[in-house]
């Protein structure tokens, strides 16, 4: 099976196992269309940050594979922010860091919290 199909399957499985919530921040994500969260067309560009992505816990460049055990579902914001860092932290350390920021409502844009999209 081509790796693109495997990633899609593992991302969908992780999304379902995680209840549609990001592995790092707990925000409700969308898998197929932003309408899963909001049908307001004005929010479309902002909703891109809540798109479900496949996050490799062990990076491919470090030997991590496209396996179910190595892929979790993460919102595009968390995934991209982690990998923009010069030295991306280990997944559990990053999860703790993000959790502290979410608790202070300092990770996502205000409307994400106002809509109740973060985990309780």
On the question of pLDDT at 2 being above 80, the answer is no
- Per-residue pLDDT tens over the stretch 86-108: 988 999 999 999 999 999 999 99
- Per-residue pLDDT tens over the stretch 55-90: 999 888 888 888 889 999 999 999 999 989 998 899
Pairing of strands 52-56, 71-75: antiparallel
Write the CATH number of the domain with boundaries 3-114.
Answer: 1.10.30
Burial class (CB in 10 A: 0-12, 13-18, 19+), 6: middle
- Per-residue pLDDT tens over the stretch 35-58: 999 888 888 889 999 999 999 998
Partner residues linked to 74 by β-bridges: 53
CA–CA distance, 61 with 13 (Å, rounded to integer): 23
pLDDT at 33: 94
């Amino acid at each position: 099976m081509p790796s693109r199909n495997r990633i899609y399957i593992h991302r969908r499985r992780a999304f379902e196992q995680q209840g549609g919530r990001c592995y790092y921040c707990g925000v409700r994500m969308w898998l197929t269309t932003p309408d899963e969260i909001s049908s307001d067309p004005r929010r479309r560009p902002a909703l891109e940050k809540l798109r479900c992505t496949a996050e490799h816990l062990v990076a491919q460049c470090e030997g991590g594979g496209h396996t179910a055990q190595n892929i979790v579902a993460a919102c595009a914001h968390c995934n991209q922010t982690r990998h923009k860092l010069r030295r991306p932290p280990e997944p559990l350390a990053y999860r703790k860091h993000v959790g502290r920021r979410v608790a202070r409502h300092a990770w996502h844009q205000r409307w994400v919290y106002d809509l109740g999209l973060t985990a309780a």
